[in-house]
A and B are shown apart, each in its own frame.
Chain A
Amino acid sequence: MATTALTPAASTYRSGLYEWLTTTDHKKIGILYVVNSFIFFFLGGILALLVRSELAQPGIQFLTDEHVYNQIFTMHGTVMIFMFIIPMLVGFGNYVLPLQIGAPDMAFPRINALSFWMLPLGGILLFLGFVTGGAASAGWTSYSPLAQDRPLSSPGAGQDLWIMGLTLIGTSSILGGINFLVTIFKMRAPGMTLFRMPILVWTILVTSILQVMATPVLTSALIMLFIDRNYGGHFFDPASGGSAILWQNVFWFYSHPAVYIMVLPAMGMISEILPVFSRKPLFGYKAFIFATAGIGALGFSVWAHHMFTTGQVFLPFFSLMTFLIAVPTGVKMFNWVFTLWRGKLTLSTPLLFALGFLSMFLIGGINGAFSAAVPVDFALQDTYWVVAHLHYVLFGGSVFGVFAGVYYWFPKMTGRMLNESLGKIQFAMIFIGFNMTFFPMHQLGLAGMPRRIADYASNVGWNDLNLLATVGGFLIGASMIPFLWNVFLSLRSGAIAGDDPWEANTLEWATSSPPPPYNFDHLPEIRSERPLFDLRHGKARPAATMPDPGPAPQITH
């Protein structure tokens, strides 16, 4: 449908590696984000498999130095959160959002590139700990006083490198959030009012607000920790008037909204995919938007539910707010289920992953609701129950959402379809592997197994479940093989995708796969949040005329 009217030479004066290193095109930057995030996903996954290998049986098997174990789980958590899931979702947003709003690029393309390149650098800083005597080992939550203790916090410079890496990554996040907000509010195609934006754009909007408002608080916490560790500061040192709880408060003020940063865009992706593969519009568009905004807002008032057991938390307030947040989340569940209800379902891989998201996130939400009850949390804090909860929402939720997005948008990004059979094999393996790994952790938590331990007694009944979890973990690892094989094969010889292989609803499918450098030649009329659907059914016209070249574009100084 879209034939590019730009001269072919327009984008080819830079080519190959130089093009990729210097690009400011949101599509290439999006792909860079996705590839970088997958690399760190695999690194974080290897760290997880090391943990699971050690825990498969009681007794220390190969991590004879427990400080190494601490480094491994610390880096696993840090890498998965900051180098995988948040940038992965930002990367998808980068690619898809300007297309979905009919914009030629992001508002600040060079800052976009800067935001990306800070990430590999941040990742290198994080991992540099391993070669400078020891990586950070105080947990991704880095509580004081452990975080300040040399050598316990990390045998070498790892903890300081961790702080520096995260500061850099946080800055990337803030700049990205600003970029998204300006793009969304200023660069929508004419006719696309706020309430005609695709749901993915809305979820990225709320996520970006969270990124801009919450991440700087983490930066301040990290800086305070750095000052304590290196300049004789006393922020978190009770003996000199500081407070270890202060760290927890400031840290979680960011890190709780962070979990919504990690899940809202995935929810947005699901909300794009479910309607397409049910041939029905999303049920309750406006309700969904208000629920998303509600989650974003409430997400700022629940941080201390991570600190119930400190004895210094206003318990009823945080418990109430935490239960409240289940309400808009439940609304969204109903939106998704009623979208599927009586729809004409096509059980393609994106839909399978979306269904996986729905079911696994539901379990994660339910076990989270248990933890919101203060007495229950008093018993389950710092046990494997919490590990189960966080992985059900982050892996069963966000990661499944990411894979749904990969299978859905890969054709748009590359012009090739991914192989459905391999996709379904991957889904089966990862779904089974995931549940095998993390469901037993509910039981382990209830049985009292603490988190972050390298070893456990052989006579407390935890052996079988741990072994099961390890087998599941390796199954998850194995599921990456059909995935990578699929990507490799499809890039070389996958079926040509065309503009709109899924018969979808949103604007990114109104241009070629992959899109030309400035995305659109002309845009259809925008009358609802499903412009392509409207175009197909005669409710909107294609662009009446070629866009008037008109006055010169806004020149920014």
Chain B
Amino acid sequence: MHPMRHPRNAIIVGLVFVVVAAIYWAIPYFGGWHLDYAGVTMLAVLGIAGALMAYVLIAGSPSD
């Protein structure tokens, strides 16, 4: 199966946002600047929900 058809790889789309959330948390945290917890939370949850959505859309599609 083409890698883009594999449901497990679709999760990467969501995990990208978790990574972005981690960067968005880490840089101000270690740099000593103001940390936007609201943004970190929303980005991280977006990643989780996005991964679930991507997975179920690809895995649930008909295989033809």
Chain A residues within 8 Å of B, Cβ to Cβ: 181, 185-186, 190-191, 209, 212-213, 217, 246, 249-250, 253, 297, 300-301, 303-304, 312-314, 317
Contacts and interface: CB of A to CB of B under 8 A. Distances in A.
A312 B38 contact: no
A186 B62 contact: yes
B64 A190 contact: yes
Nearest to B28: A314
Contacts of B22: none
Contacts of A250: 38, 42
B27 A185 contact: no
Contacts of A314: 24, 27-28, 33-34, 36
A181 B39 CA distance: 26
A445 to B, nearest CB: 28
A297 B17 CA distance: 8
Interface string B20-49: 100110011000011010110011001001
A301 to B, nearest CB: 6
A190 B46 CA distance: 32
A213 B53 contact: yes
Main secondary structure of the interface of A (DSSP, over half): helix
B27 A317 contact: yes
Contacts, number: 52
A217 B64 CA distance: 35
A209 B53 contact: yes
Nearest to A298: B20
A312 B36 CA distance: 8
B13 A297 contact: yes
B35 to A, nearest CB: 8
A213 B50 contact: yes
Contacts of B28: 314
Interface string B50-64: 100100010011101
B33 A181 contact: no
Contacts of B60: 185-186
B30 to A, nearest CB: 12
Given A185-B61, A313-B36, A314-B28, A300 B53 contact: no
Given A190-B64, A249-B36, A301-B43, 17 more contacts: A185-B57, A185-B60, A185-B61, A191-B64, A212-B53, A213-B50, A246-B38, A249-B42, A250-B38, A253-B39, A253-B42, A297-B13, A301-B20, A301-B24, A304-B36, A304-B39, A314-B28
Contacts of B20: 301
Nearest to B60: A185
The 6 closest A-B pairs by CB, nearest first: A249-B38, A185-B61, A185-B57, A253-B42, A312-B34, A301-B20
Nearest to A311: B34
29 contacts: A181-B57, A185-B57, A185-B61, A186-B60, A186-B61, A186-B62, A191-B64, A209-B53, A212-B53, A213-B49, A213-B53, A249-B36, A249-B38, A249-B42, A250-B42, A253-B39, A297-B16, A300-B43, A300-B46, A301-B17, A303-B39, A304-B36, A314-B24, A314-B27, A314-B28, A314-B33, A314-B34, A317-B23, A317-B24
A300 B44 CA distance: 11
B42 to A, nearest CB: 5
Contacts of B24: 301, 314, 317
B3 to A, nearest CB: 14
A500 B3 CA distance: 38
Contacts of B61: 185-186
Contacts of A213: 46, 49-50, 53
A301 B47 CA distance: 12
A289 to B, nearest CB: 11
Nearest to B4: A194
B24 to A, nearest CB: 7
Contacts of B36: 249, 304, 312-314
A460 B45 CA distance: 48
A253 B38 CA distance: 10
A303 B23 CA distance: 16
B56 to A, nearest CB: 9
A213 to B, nearest CB: 6
Nearest to B57: A185
Contacts of B17: 297, 300-301
B36 to A, nearest CB: 7
A336 to B, nearest CB: 25
Nearest to A297: B16
